[in-house]
Amino acid sequence: ETGVTQSPTHLIKTRGQQVTLRCSSQSGHNTVSWYQQALGQGPQFIFQYYREEENGRGNFPPRFSGLQFPNYSSELNVNALELDDSALYLCASSLASAPYEQYFGPGTRLTVT
Amino acid sequence: EDKVVQSPLSLVVHEGDTVTLNCSYEVTNFRSLLWYKQEKKAPTFLFMLTSSGIEKKSGRLSSILDKKELFSILNITATQTGDSAIYLCAVEGVGANSKLTFGKGITLSVRP
């Protein structure tokens, strides 16, 4: 167990809806990264937050957005859900001084029907 | 664009066998290569490699990096059923805001 928690664990949404996923980082970690892992694929980087600001983004459209709060917890919001958004969404926390040591949460399984 | 290719994509062995998992990569301004084990959901960290030729070892697992040929291997000796998992390789580039680029993973099944 890494100390990174995510909620909910599983979610079913309909195409066109919006969803918010939450992540609490490991104690003391000030950087949160979000990844999308489709079935049979490795995780793909969505974006990273450091000190409440976006600090890098992967190849995802603007309908994927995020927030980081003063306590370093984070949210991932996805608008106008599409069927291809069905995936496991992972967050990982790290220290800015050791960014390569990313500790992953258990993920949220999102199913879009 | 950074790229990671893992092989084979899946592998079935029997307990006690030794396995070698491969990872080749292309990355701008390489900083590190990492191996993770993913059993159910959360990938768990195994190794971080930054220098060529220096073997990292943890119990029955070991890994080495070749920065000239741009690949890494993960070895598991005396495999056990508990080693059954997806093994992910990821690379990090300098200046990439610690973004990790992952391969598709290798599914290892260890039969009793």
How does pLDDT run across B40-78, given as a tens digit for each residue? Answer: 888 998 999 998 888 999 999 999 999 999 999 999 999
Average pLDDT over residues A50-67: 93
Say whether pLDDT at A80 is over 90.
Answer: yes
Q: Quote the pLDDT of residue B96.
A: 54
Q: Which residue has the higher pLDDT, A95 or B14?
A: B14
Q: Quote the pLDDT of residue B98.
A: 63
Q: Report residue A56's pLDDT band, with 50, 70 and 90 as the boundaries.
A: confident
Are A107 and B41 within 8 A, CB to CB? yes
Average pLDDT over residues A5-10: 96
Q: Quote the pLDDT of residue A92.
A: 93
CB B79 within 8 A of CB B109: no
Average pLDDT over residues B26-48: 90
Q: Quote the pLDDT of residue B88.
A: 97
Which residues, 6 or more positions from B40, have their beta carbon under 8 angstroms from its beta carbon?
A106
* A9-68 residues touching B, CB cutoff 8 A: 31, 33, 35, 40-45, 48, 55-56, 58
At position B84, the amino acid (one-letter code) is S
Query: How many CA atoms lie within 13 Å of B69's alpha carbon, on the beta-carbon side?
Result: 10
Q: Quote the pLDDT of residue A18.
A: 98
State yes or no: cis peptide before A62, omega within 30 of 0.
Answer: no
Chain A residue with the nearest C-alpha to that of B40: A106
